[in-house]
Amino acid sequence: MSLPYKNYNTWSVSVRWFHWINVLTVLALIFVGLIMMYKKELGITGIEAKVGLKELHVIIAYIFATNLIIRILFAFIGSASARFSAFIPTKGYMQSLHSYHASLKAGKPQQFIGHNPLGKLAVTALFSLLIILMLSGLIRAGTDIYYPPFGSLVSSYVAEQDVNPDSLRPYQKEGINKDKLAALNAFKSPFGKIHKYSAYLLMLLIILHVTAVVRAEIKEGDRLISSMFSGKKILIEKPQDDGKNSPS
């Protein structure tokens, strides 16, 4: 007797590991980032605490950035569910979005082995923001507290000629060339703004993403949440992306 449902392989091991390490590190970065922003209100004062929080944020950020860089590599060399083509909207996207939207309105949601068309949009936006946060954060780490990968370049630039750049501490005033410090501040300021507003946007997108996933889990019955642990989806309907560039 054939069963009314079929088991499909969806997210590869690399995608699942990336996803959960990303969730943990992003939540930790948001948590420490918010403490940094509201430290006065929280009664945290003094330069040591300020620098300590930034250092903690940056150390977690290195795990986040390494995970993201590995994920980007897998988007080029990984299995079908890891590739850019699994989520970046390409030709025929608008048509699939309309058709998915119509199926939702009719109360018979189309099922997918990989991302549904709205999910593709969300994942593309999330990835773009994560990359912007990584790049602006790495620049801030160098220009704000002399941390790698650009920290030694920055300290060598601002140090007075007779001062060893490696001896410079974050926010130290002595031994620093004033004009170069002013130029550095002008350079780093927009990256701070980009970093902060991208973090706000990311928080908003995370709320939308989690709401959409929970809604899909309840209404579309494709076990979306458990599939990010098991790598498998159990579908009743024939998936729209079966055999069409679908994950393996």
CA dihedral (227, 118, 90, 233) in degrees, to 10, reads 20
Closest contact distance (angstroms) between CB of 120 and ligand HEM is 20
Options 8, 11, 58, 246; binder of ligand HEM; rule CB under 6 A:
58
Options 82, 113, 138, 159; binder of ligand HEM; rule CB under 6 A:
138
194 is written with which tokens? 């980009």
Q: Residue 171 burial (CB < 10 Å; 0-12/13-18/19+)?
A: exposed
Could you say whether residue 137 binds ligand HEM (CB under 6 A)? yes
Could you say whether residue 154 binds ligand HEM (CB under 6 A)? no
How many residues interact with ligand HEM (rule CB under 6 A)? 25
Residue nearest to ligand HEM (CB): 137
Options 109, 192, 221, 231; binder of ligand HEM; rule CB under 6 A:
192
Residue type, 86: A
242 is written with which tokens? 């079966």
Options 18, 64, 74, 112; binder of ligand HEM; rule CB under 6 A:
64
Where do we find the tokens 């990336």? 18
- Span of 26-34, 167-175, 214-222, 229-237 interacting with ligand HEM by CB under 6 A: 26-34
Residues 35 and 42: their CA atoms lie apart, in Å, by 8
Options 15, 86, 113, 134; binder of ligand HEM; rule CB under 6 A:
134
Closest contact distance (angstroms) between CB of 210 and ligand HEM is 15
221 is written with which tokens? 């019955």
Q: Determine the Cα angle at 72 with ends 67 and 75, to 5°.
A: 130
Decide whether 6 or 188 has the Cβ nearer to ligand HEM: 188
Could you say whether residue 202 binds ligand HEM (CB under 6 A)? yes
Residues 93 and 157: their CA atoms lie apart, in Å, by 48
First to last CA, the chain: 26
Options 21, 24, 28, 36; binder of ligand HEM; rule CB under 6 A:
36
Options 75, 86, 199, 216; binder of ligand HEM; rule CB under 6 A:
199
Q: What are the C-alpha distances in Å from 177 to residues 47, 158, 159, 190?
A: 21, 6, 6, 21
Cis bond before residue 149 (omega within 30° of 0): yes
Residues 233 and 100: their CA atoms lie apart, in Å, by 18
Binding track over 76-115 against ligand HEM, x by CB under 6 A: ----------------------------------------
Which residues of this chain interact with ligand HEM, rule CB under 6 A? 26, 29-30, 33, 36-37, 54, 57-58, 61, 64-65, 130, 133-134, 137-138, 140-141, 144, 192, 195-196, 199, 202
